Every structure is written in C-alpha cells, then in structure tokens.
C-alpha cells in the first residue's frame, strides 16, 4: 500500500466509526459490563473524537514531512486501558507509516481495539498481514509501551536493547485568571470529568489567583453533579471524603468533587488539587521546572511554557500532532526504518 492508500483507508474507518450501525451499537452496549469505566457516554465520546481526527486532509498534513514506504519492520505496542481506545494514536502512527504492528492490548480494553482493527481490515484487506493482536510481544524491531511509573521501570529493562518509547504517568493542570465566564468554567469541567478523570490529559490540578474566591469555581462545576451516579466514581468520592474528614484535612466538597490545596500534580480520583499563585512569571517558571510531569495545560493565558496548552475544555481533544509526553511518534518510527 502507498501512503495515500493508507490515508484513504483510515478516512473510511473514521466514517465507519461515526455511523451508528448495529455492530457498533452492540459493542458499546457490551463494554460497561466488561469495564465499568467504559460507559456508553465515554466510549461514544472516544469513537467520535477518533472519527473527527481521521479526515484525509488532516492525515495528509500530518504525514506530509515523511515519505511513502512499506517497512518490513515490526513495531510492538503495549497499550494502556485507562480510557477507551487510549492507544489508538500509536496504532494509527505505526500503520500509516507503513510498519507492521504487534499489539498487546490491555485486559481492560473490552474488545474496542479489536473491533476497530477488524473494521479497518474489512475496509482495506491489505492491512490483514500488517496487524497482529498478541498475548506476548515477540520478534519485534521497535517498541512503544505505555503504563504506570512502576511498569515503566520493567519496560525500560525488558525493552532496553530495542529502539523504544516508554511512557509513564503524567497529569494535566489548568491555570485560571479569575475572569473566567460561566461557559469557560463549564468547559473546564470537561477537562476534569470526561473519562472520570482517569486519563493523563485529565486536569487533576488547578492554579488559581491569590485572591480568587474558590466558590466561583465550585459553583461553575455544578453542572457535572450527575457523575456521582456512577457507582465506582462515587465509591472513590466517598472514600477520599472519609479520609479527609478522619485526618482533619481542609477541603471543599461539592457533593461529587473534593478540592484540596496541595502541591502535588496527581490527585486521587474524585479529587482535584489546587494551588494559589501571586505572580504569573513565577508560576511559568514552576510549570517549566515540572514539565516532565505534565501532559498538557488548559488556560486562557498565553503561557510561555514547554508543555502543550489548550483552551479550557480542550484537553481531551488532541490533534494528530499532540503527541503523548511530547515525543513525536512518527519521527521515532522514521528514524528507525
């Protein structure tokens, strides 16, 4: 296949994933019993975001700097399963670059990845020989592995002799000015609550001005109170609330979200940390010092930082060039053809 043939196949895949056919509807309905975090709303959101990405012109612009080739090399992928189809960008990158792929899907995947790849093969049968879902990677030439900080240490050792990208835990943050409109705070709610806050692009830390009335933020997030109807999320909310009450930790409680003043970027599920800032230059320096811990930042400010920034509400809608951990996957692949 040429690069253009692959682009056209993925565009057709995007169209197929946007259509509410019986097979897709059955898949989405079957996902929650297998993984309670994969609600119909969240899986639908993931499929929609992928569908919007797979437009021919976007794919052409993204791959324009690279030649059309078909590589004999095999890329091994170890995928996470924290949110639906979180590893799709890696799959897309490998296949559109002309490589073959071995995929170790997460046990939490609920069959989503297999469905997408079967749909792609039905559209373009030439992909059949390029795609292999496996229980264990073997005979690969390059590897991209995503996991926790603990599993990353194992990956670094196990894959050390192969060209590799190893991804660890990261978190995302928001920086407020204090002048946000109700609409902007509602948008911020999507950065926090979409996918239950389980993704590396989910905002888990908010910086607010020194004199900011935090009740404005709490009131602005009230539209997401329905998230407490999800039993696993609510169990986490109840647990963390109990811990804070027992320990006497000062916190704010909306009835579905806990906000605690804390310097850490990572927060427990159903908790968002916040920190006050007095000087934007000092905050900028602080964020740059901790760039290795951050996936992205949402804000209305033009921050001069090394971490990708998005408008409030945009963290979960990355473009093709918004690479995880800031590592250009296509550049890595073509450097190891």
Domains of the chain, earliest start first: 3-169 (3.40.605.10), 171-310 (3.40.309.10)
Residues 22-78 have pLDDT tens digits of 999 999 999 999 999 999 999 999 999 999 999 999 999 999 999 998 899 999 999
**3-state SS string for 154-196:** HHHHHCCCCCEEEECCCEEEEECCCCCCHHHHHHHHHHHHHHH
- CB atoms under 10 Å from CB of 96, counted, come to 21
At 121, list the tokens: 């093969």
DSSP-assigned letter for residue 206: E
- Say how far apart CA 62 and CA 328 lie, in whole Å: 11
| DSSP three-state, residue 298 | strand
Burial 3-15 (b: 16+ CB within 10 A, else e): beebbbbbbbbbe
Query: Which residues contact residue 307 at a Cβ distance below 8 angstroms, ignoring those fewer than 6 apart?
Result: 287, 288, 291, 294, 295, 296, 297, 326
pLDDT digits (tens, 9 = 90+) for 118-156: 999 999 999 999 999 999 999 999 999 998 888 888 899
If one counts every other C-beta atom within 10 angstroms of the C-beta of residue 40, the result is 12
Q: Are 308 and 297 in contact (CB under 8 A)?
A: yes
Assess contact for 78 and 144: CB atoms under 8 A: yes
Are residues 66 and 54 in contact, defined by beta-carbon separation less than 8 angstroms?
no
Local confidence pLDDT in tens for the 337 residues of the chain: 999 999 999 999 999 999 878 999 999 999 999 999 999 999 999 999 999 999 999 999 999 999 998 899 999 999 999 999 999 999 999 999 999 999 999 999 999 999 999 999 999 999 999 999 999 999 999 999 998 888 888 899 989 999 999 999 999 999 999 999 999 999 999 999 999 999 999 999 999 999 999 999 999 999 999 999 999 999 999 999 999 999 999 999 999 999 999 999 999 999 999 999 999 999 999 999 999 999 999 999 999 999 999 999 999 999 999 999 999 999 999 999 9
CA distance 260 to 166: 31
- To which H or E segment does residue 276 belong? strand 271-277
């Amino acid at each position: 296949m040429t690069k253009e043939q692959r682009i056209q196949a993925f565009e057709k895949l995007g169209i197929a994933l946007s259509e509410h056919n019986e097979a897709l509807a059955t898949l989405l309905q079957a996902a929650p019993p297998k993984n309670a975090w994969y609600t119909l709303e969240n899986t639908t959101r993931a499929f929609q975001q992928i569908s919007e990405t797979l437009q021919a012109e976007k794919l052409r612009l993204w791959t324009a700097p690279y030649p059309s080739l078909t590589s004999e090399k095999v890329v091994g992928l170890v995928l996470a399963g924290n949110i639906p189809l979180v590893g799709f960008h890696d799959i897309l990158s490998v296949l559109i670059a002309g490589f073959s792929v071995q995929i170790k899907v997460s046990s939490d995947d609920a069959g989503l990845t297999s469905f997408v790849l079967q749909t792609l093969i039905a559209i373009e049968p030439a992909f059949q020989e390029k795609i292999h879902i496996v229980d264990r990677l073997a005979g690969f030439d390059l590897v991209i592995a995503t996991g926790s900080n603990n599993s990353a240490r194992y990956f670094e050792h196990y894959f050390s002799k192969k060209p590799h990208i190893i991804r660890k835990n990261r978190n995302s943050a928001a920086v407020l000015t204090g002048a946000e409109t109700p609409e902007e705070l509602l948008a911020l709610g999507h950065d926090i609550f979409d996918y239950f806050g389980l993704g590396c692009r989910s905002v888990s830390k908010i910086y607010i001005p020194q004199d900011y009335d935090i009740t404005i933020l709490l009131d602005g997030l009230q539209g997401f109170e329905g998230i407490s109807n999800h039993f696993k999320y609510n169990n986490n909310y109840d647990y963390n609330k109990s811990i804070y009450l027992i320990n006497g930790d000062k916190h704010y409680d909306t009835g579905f979200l806990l906000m605690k003043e804390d310097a850490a970027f990572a927060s427990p599920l159903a908790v968002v940390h916040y920190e006050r800032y007095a000087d934007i230059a000092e905050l900028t320096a602080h964020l740059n010092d901790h760039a290795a811990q951050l996936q992205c930042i949402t804000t209305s400010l033009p921050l001069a930082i090394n971490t990708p920034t998005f408008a409030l509400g945009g963290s979960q809608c990355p473009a093709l060039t918004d690479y995880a951990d800031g590592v250009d996957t296509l550049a890595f692949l073509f450097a190891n053809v």
